[in-house]
Every structure is written in C-alpha cells, then in structure tokens.
Structure 1
Amino acid sequence: MAALELFFSFLLLLIFFFFIPTRASCPPSSCPGGPTVLFPFWLQSLQPRRCGYAGFDLSCNNQTHQTTLSLSNSSGNNFVVQTIDYDLQTLIVNDPDHCLPKRFLDRSFDNLPDTMPFRIHSFKMYTFLNCSPQATSFPATARNISCLGGENHTVFVMPSREYDNWFQSTAPSPSPSPSSSGLSCAVISGVRVPARAEHELGVFEDPIEGVALTWSTPDCSFCGLNSDTSQIVSSDPKAERKGLPRSAKYGIIIGVGIPGILCILGLASYVCGRINAYGRRNRLNMDLSTSASQQPTIVVVGLDGPTIESYPKTLLGESRRLPKPNDTICSICLGEYQPKEELRTIPECNHYFHASCVDEWLKMNATCPVCRKSPEGSALVTPSSSISSSSTSLPSP
C-alpha cells in the first residue's frame, strides 16, 4: 500500500512539472464567439494585465460575445477579431456591421498610429463613386457596395487606375467629375485600401473576408512574460523545429520516467521487505534466547543399553501363555504376539512389548509407551546438567 501511494505521488509530480504550462498564471482564454487568446494578446477583465504585451488589448462585446479590437484612429465601432495566427503573427479583423468599405472611407486603416503594434504590408488606391440609379455602364472591375447605397443612389468602387482609364474613355474632354460629363456619378473619395495579394481584385465582393493585420514586436511565435523580471521569454520557432516536437519529448519523458519510477519502487519495496524480515528474525531469536534463559527446559533422554538389558525378558512358548491373556498385541508395532517371540517387561508398570520394539523405544524415550511412567533409573537432564549422564542400573530379578 505504501509503495502504491508513493507511485501516485511521483506520477502527480510528473504531471505537474511537465504538463502544466510554464505560464500557469496566464492560461489561454477566449470570448464565447471568438478565437483563443494567448500572449501577446490579453482579454480585458478576463486575464491579468501582465498576461499581454503593450498595445495588444482585446475585449469581449457584451451583446454579441465577439472578440473586438480597438484602433485609436478609427471613428467607428471596434473591429471584430475573426482569427489569430500566432505562427505568422497575423490577425484578421472585420467590421461588426459587415461594411468594411465604410471603414475604408473613414480611413481607419490608412495611417495606423505609431503607438499601435499592427501594420498592413501593402495598400491599393480605390475610387468610390456615388451614382444615380440611371448609371449602368461601368467597367468589369467596378463593384456595387450595397451597404453604402440607398433608394436614390448607388455606391460603386473600382481601382483608381481603372477609374482613370474609364473616365478618359467616356469623357469628351477633361472634366472634374463624371457627373459633369453626363455619367450620373460623383466621386466620393479616392482612398487607400489594404491589399491582400490573393484577393486584390475581389476585395469588395460579398462577403468581404476581412483585413489582415500583422505585428513584428514581440518577434516570437511562442513567447510570454517572465513574472519575476517582467521580461519577454521567447523561443526561436526555427530552433524549435530542428529538435523533437514537444509531444514527442513528453512521450519520451513518460515512456522512460514511469518505468524507471516503477523499477525504483519495486527495488525499494524489495529492500524494505528484506530489512523488515531480517528485523523480525532478529527479534524472534532475541525473544527465544530471553525465554530460554528465564525458563530452563527439561530434556528427557532415553536409557542406556545395560539398563534396558536389565529389564525382564519372557520367551513365549507354543501355547503363547501371557501374563495378561487379553493383551495379545504389542502397543508399539500393533502386531500380535507369536510363539517363540521375546517379550520385555517394564518393571515399574508391568507392561510388556516385543523386546526389539521396546528396546528401540527406550533408547530414545525413558517412559513407558502405554502409561508414560518413567522407570526407575531414567535421567531427567536440565541445561545445567550433562545430557550424557549415565543411568543407574536396575538389579536383575
């Protein structure tokens, strides 16, 4: 039982040291409808401030339960965080009202302040047009922005270069706007739009997939804050990939550690058992020695040869007449007496037996086999007397 308790104690320690995350005080968290939040991000009111890096503040929307990010130069609502890729250090944000073009017009992404850790790699110029319902002839690259339109107007957007080419081809002479040339459209604004390489041409298609923001500081795919020094503890992802995966390391630790612990426990149990057995034997020998010294044992030894030969012998005749007619069986060998057999009688009790049987008996026991009386001349030997003391001889009858 003690060995089993020790084994479970070692197993709990193993789980604690190798499976509890190193930043146990900052466990992963998330909003009900958002991605998992790890360092360098932190969720306000759900995680301690030390769990995140400066500028990576996220929060949960109380109504939608979505994860939101605030950009200080944005005049609208916070952005919804759709995904976070910690390896590529990229997050995808979208407008909570599903109208990102509106956020492009208010230039939420145009010039991110230096206080923000997020950056956009590239931009592309787009021109927004406010057109009447009669305007129908547009280039193939023009997109109708339904969330910005209304009953009496429609908003279109196209790459600025495509707009310039289209305007020059449709206007007879340079004009400040398409509306003055009869195109029933007015330029709202030319804005910089974040360009995602794989979706540059379809960035305004429905649904819009979102804007990718990247960060470079802190530069690590797996890092955190040291709670003692408040310094960033990071590991190089390339260096991590050169070695064994973490799951493989845990597997090796478990595969080697648990059998090793079992061997140690088995060896310890065996040694403890041997020590306990040795102690019990020593205590038993000590108790026996003490008991023997306090209570002498009386040892009864058999008779010597001359004494035995001094006991009377009787030779049975053909009639097998016995001193006791009903006693016809030797009590030692349980055989019937036969003619011409020698019987020997013990003088003290007059019990008789085959001479050969009782002689062997008396050599080892100084008592009658039947009544257990000690014949005169037997020796009672104590530890203080000699076991080889001689017996007194009985006179011949």
Structure 2
Amino acid sequence: MNCSPLGIPPSQALALFIMDTLILFSFLFLLLCATAAEPCSIAMCGKNKVPIRFPFRQQGKQSRNCRYPGFDLGCGSQNTVYLKLPYSGEFYVRDIKYLDQQISLYDPSGCLPKRLLSLNLSASPFVAVFIQNYTFLNCPTQITTSRFNAIDCLSNSTSSILATSSARLANKMASSSCRIITVLLIPVSWRTKDDEELTAALDADIQLTWNAPQCGNCEEQGGIRRKGRGLQVFRVISLCIALPALSGAIGITVFAYFQDRFNPSRRNPYPMQLNNGTAEVLPQPVLVVTGLDESTIESYEKIVLGESWRIPGPNDSTSPICLSEYLSQDIIRCIPKCKHSFHAECIDEWLRMNSMCPVCQKSPAAEDASSRNDPV
C-alpha cells in the first residue's frame, strides 16, 4: 500500500485534508458572523456635539446595517453635520432629539427663507413638525416700517421681501403697493394666530420629524436599536450556527467513509449473519427529528395583543428570540406549561428546528406527552 509523506494511506490523507478545509471554512464563517453582529457604535463629527446613531448613520464611518434608508448624514468642513434632502439639497444639522424623533436643520448660507421657497420633502422620510400657510410679498422699501420684519437676505435697497401668516394683512398690503410673490405651506417652529397682522423673518431652524422607524419605546429604555427585523436577525443567527455544524458533519462523514472503505479489517461484505441457519437482519438506523411538526405547533395558543400590550405568563415586553418590542396587534404564540410567549412567526420557525423552549429549555412536546400519560 502506498503511503503519503505523513505515513498514512492517501485516502485517509485526502479525508483529513477535506475535514481540515471544512473546519477552516467554518471558523472563517463564524468570524464573519461575529463581525456582522457587532453592535452599532455612536459616531461624532469631530468636536460637533451631535451624536450620530440609529436610525442615522455617518457616511463612510458606520456600517449600512446601522441606519434606516434615507437617514445618511455627512461630516463637512468645520465639524458640521449635514443632511442631504433628495429635492432640496444640503442642510446643516443643529440637533437631533432621538426620544422625540425630531431633527433641527438650518441653512449653510444663512438664508433659510430662500430655501423654504423651494423646499420639497416628498422623497425623504421626514415631515414637518408644524406647517402653516405664509404669504410672501414684494414691497417698496419706503413703505416698510419698523412694524414689519423684512427678510434681509432676500431684500435689497429698493424692495423688501415680507412674509406673513395673516391673510387679512397680505390682502391689505397687496391692495396698496405690494405684490404677492407666492403663498406656501412651510415648516415653522411654532404656529401663529391668523389674526396677528405681523410679518416674520422665518430664520428659525426647520423642525422635522419621522414616522418610521418608531424608536420612542427603545429610547425610553436607554437602548439603541440595530437596523433589521427581529426575524431576519434570528435567521442570520440560525445560519451562522447551522452552516458550520453542517460542514463539520460532512467532514466527519467523509473521514468515516474513507476509513471504512480503505480499511479491510473494518469491511463486512455480508449484510446478514447466519446463526443456526437463521438469517439475522442488522438493525436499521433510526432517524431522529429534532423539531416539532406543524400540527403540534399550530395547537399552541395564539393571541393578538391589544392596546395595553399586556403579555400573559412570565414574560416581559421584549421577545427573547428577535429582541423586538411587543406592539399592539402583534400575533403572539404561548408555549403550554411554561407559558413563555414569543412572536408567532419567530417561535414557529424555532420549533420547526428545535423542540425546546428558547427560554427555559423545556420540551413542550415531552410535557404534553407526560400530561396525557398521567392518570386522572
């Protein structure tokens, strides 16, 4: 028999090489999974005191997994944080209130009213906190008195640009020597009364908010959410565990195959042994199913959460599998006996692969069987 330089048959050397390759691949895959699962960090733009974290991300510094689409922020010159709106260009960020889900913006060139005339938020995830109709007027400078606040960055030596939320004042001035430029719904820091015949400089920061994602509950608990649905995270974790385990099983199987195939002392050409003239059939391997069948899973109680978000049994407000908050109208499945509850889609997929409760590691199927066998 020919041997390799290591002193073992070539077949066994090949099996060891395949097994080592699969182990190395599994290690690299687990390392990649661990890197992908690193928590999202908080970024700062130089000495700027605005923290950048989920749902926002600093471009070029934080992972794309740590932001929500449309929430990319840039770090400009002089440590300025800026947000680029699809149809309206760049605005500097003054502040971000994560708990209230509000962001304050101002114009880099210092003429915010000019930007308001062409502001378009339709392709962004943001909406104005307050909006109000304003009439913009072009008036001769000589009729502008100290009573009115002109928009300096739009005015010149002969014309003054005014803005007012009072339709009555706008009509009164238009009937004299002023000309109405446009009437727009614009974001404002606070609403004014329609009967206040005043003009505004409109130089306060733009206050915007967002409806998705909803991070208020997470912020109240001091947490920082990572982008991605709970079920997707669960699938990634399952894949990171299952693929290396499968690779290891294949390697062991290949090694055992070559061991048995090329070791004559282990080969048995007779699948049946004769004992006193009677043929004895060797026992067949038993297939073990680790998960539960669909009928058993569907037999477990399902409930729809109401407005109170009250979860029955020994549970808290967060799903142990996907780590997401329970919300109103979520579908919850409760495991019998231990009464631990989970999102239905999360626990269903878990029980198809594992018959144990993820929290207490008890088998609901075994408990059900024991309860059926107990005498009444």
TM-score, normalised to structure 1's length?
A: 0.43
Flag the structure with larger Rg: 1
TM-score, normalised to structure 2's length?
A: 0.45
- Structure with more relative contact order (C-alpha pairs < 8 Å, separation 6 or more): 2
